[in-house]
Amino acid sequence: GGGGGGEEGKRSYLFVFKDNENQCRVDGLGRILLPAHFDADKWASFMTDSVRKEAEEKASIAKTVEKRQKEVASALGLVHLFCDPDLTSKPEYADFLSRLEQDDGQVIRSFLEKFPKMTQVPIRIHSSITRPKFHLHKDMGLLLLSSDCTPEKLVTLLRSRGDEAIYIHEKYKNEMKGKDDLLLEVKRALKLQGLTRGECDEVQMKESCKRLLLVPWKDRQVFEGLRLVVCNDYEVKGDGSVRIKWNWR
């Protein structure tokens, strides 16, 4: 997705255009989510006064909650504590933060003082109705916890899955850095205005980037200034972007 801003008076709104959304809505951060495949008329019809008010209220709540979240994490010694965007402005997340505050470091901080490495585990909180309630994100190394998690349960999970979470998360960060470096190299080599991944996976995207770097110098001016989208077909879009098949020849 991408982002943009709209303004009414002094109030700014953050619009996020997403491919995997099926309806216009306001998320827990007060962002206005608009399905990328909808037309402009649908987006415009959604922007009623009540939607603007909802976005303002949620953004205000989210700002307060995020400040509190940071203070709670800092007091306990946790480096990465955050929640699903839609949970930010809900009472159940405020209740979760209250439980951590009431623990006053007796369970969590005393554990982290004995095992300081565990402060680096990235912890993401989701709604109590989400299943499974507790698990480890196998690609990103996030420890995913239900909002009804207790300090004791958190320590148990850090003890049993913390090392694995740190290992996976470091590997993920290195892979992301490598991917970003490769995209930057291709953009500079071909003087592209933009290079993004469409309907293809990360492996196919990497393969396509390697192919682009093999374009002979004499042919590179063809790509100069283009916004390329690597996907499963070929098409020049109305917005000026050019879609290319990932295994192009």
14-43 pLDDT tens trace: 777 776 778 888 988 888 888 878 888 888
**Residues 7, 85: one domain?**
no
Spell out the residues 6+ positions from residue 120 whose beta carbon is closer than 8 angstroms to its own.
79, 80, 166, 169
> Structurally, how many domains does the chain consist of?
3
For residue 180, tell me if it sits in a domain. Answer: no
Name the pTM for this structure: 0.69
Please compute the mean of the pLDDT values over residues 122-131 and round it to a whole number.
93
For residue 177, tell me if it sits in a domain. Answer: no
**Residues 166, 241: one domain?**
no
**Which of 16-30, 120-134, 154-168 bottoms out in mean pLDDT, i.e. has the lowest?**
16-30
pLDDT at 7 over 80: no
Structural domain range at position 200 = 191-245
pLDDT at 49 over 50: yes
| Percent of the chain surpassing pLDDT 90 | 39
Q: How far apart are CA 212 and CA 232, in angstroms?
A: 16
**Residues 100, 156: one domain?**
yes
**Residues 2, 37: one domain?**
yes
Q: How far apart are CA 151 and CA 69, in angstroms?
A: 15
**Residues 48, 96: one domain?**
no
Q: Is 8 left (phi over 0), alpha (psi -120 to 50) or beta?
A: beta
Are 130 and 89 in contact by the 8 Å Cβ rule? The answer is no
**Residues 55, 9: one domain?**
yes
Which of 77, 87, 172 shows the shortest CA–CA distance to 116? 77
In the structure, what pLDDT confidence band is assigned to residue 134 with cuts at 50, 70 and 90?
A: very high
**Residues 56, 93: one domain?**
no
pLDDT at 95 over 90: yes
203/67: higher pLDDT: 67
For residue 10, tell me if it sits in a domain. Answer: yes
pLDDT at 11: 53
**Residues 44, 116: one domain?**
no
For residue 16, tell me if it sits in a domain. Answer: yes
